[in-house]
Chain A
Amino acid sequence: DAGVTQSPTHLIKTRGQQVTLRCSPKSGHDTVSWYQQALGQGPQFIFQYYEEEERQRGNFPDRFSGHQFPNYSSELNVNALLLGDSALYLCASSPDRGLQETQYFGPGTRLLVL
């Protein structure tokens, strides 16, 4: 049983560009959350998707958007990249029973913005 998978593993972009990161949840999970982990910090919640809708959002600007597909996989899009967007982007999946079920994290996508 594959766990949470993310692609690509690493990415280099320049300021002003746009990026799309992808996540496939663990089998049986229908909820996907995205987190940003800057160097030396803990992960920060970006948003969560369930039933192809954004259910909850953290304190991130509208440049950060997402999508969930019918097969529960998800994409994170970031427009107009800033140097400060350089971070490890983590995807977490869980079944839809809130945090009664633990979130399982993928290995992350490391984004570098030059």
Chain B
Amino acid sequence: GEDVEQSLFLSVREGDSSVINCTYTDSSSTYLYWYKQEPGAGLQLLTYIFSNMDMKQDQRLTVLLNKKDKHLSLRIADTQTGDSAIYFCAESIGDYKLSFGAGTTVTVRA
């Protein structure tokens, strides 16, 4: 089945780390993604991880994948006000389709 779940809201203090969690259902997913959407804008790909990896780090972003539990997380280090946005977790379904969660709204407070 195709069902990606995320918590809806996260509030974090500027300079702290943010951790956004996601669970997915398709064990055959080859790729898992994190997208960012700012108000009134389209989706910006932040990072993705291949399903045979446990971790991927890209500057302030760290992705952790627990394939056994079908759990994906995104850690943003030193969170800034510009990181305030909606973050979507997505899994690949077959070769061509992405299935998205409902998004986590991250609010960064001073």
Residues on A facing B (Cβ under 8 Å): 4, 31, 33, 35, 40-45, 48, 55-56, 58, 90, 92, 98-100, 102-108
Q: Give how many B residues have a beta carbon under 8 Å from the other chain's beta carbons.
A: 25
B66 close to A (CB within 8 Å): no
What is the total of A-B residue contacts with beta carbons within 8 Å? 62
Contact among A42, A45, A107 with B97 in the assembled complex (CB-CB below 8 Å): A45
Bitwise interface map of B from 42 to 73 toward A, beta carbon under 8 Å scored 1, else 0: 11110010000000000000000000000000
Residues on B facing A (Cβ under 8 Å): 4, 30-31, 33, 35, 41-45, 48, 88, 90, 92-103
Cross-chain contact B31 with A99 (CB below 8 angstroms): yes
Which chain B residue lies CB-closest to A101?
A: B31
Contact among A56, A90, A99, A102 with B42 in the assembled complex (CB-CB below 8 Å): A90
- Can you list 25 pairs linking A and B with CB atoms under 8 Å apart? A4-B42, A31-B96, A41-B102, A42-B90, A42-B101, A42-B102, A42-B103, A43-B88, A44-B100, A45-B98, A45-B99, A48-B96, A55-B96, A56-B94, A56-B97, A58-B97, A90-B43, A92-B43, A99-B98, A100-B30, A102-B45, A102-B48, A103-B45, A105-B42, A107-B42
Interface centre among B41, B96, B99 (most CB of A within 10 A): B96
| B1 nearest CB across to chain A (Å) | 12
| A36 nearest CB across to chain B (Å) | 11
Given known contacts A105-B42, A106-B42, A108-B42, A40 and B96 CB-to-CB distance under 8 angstroms:
no
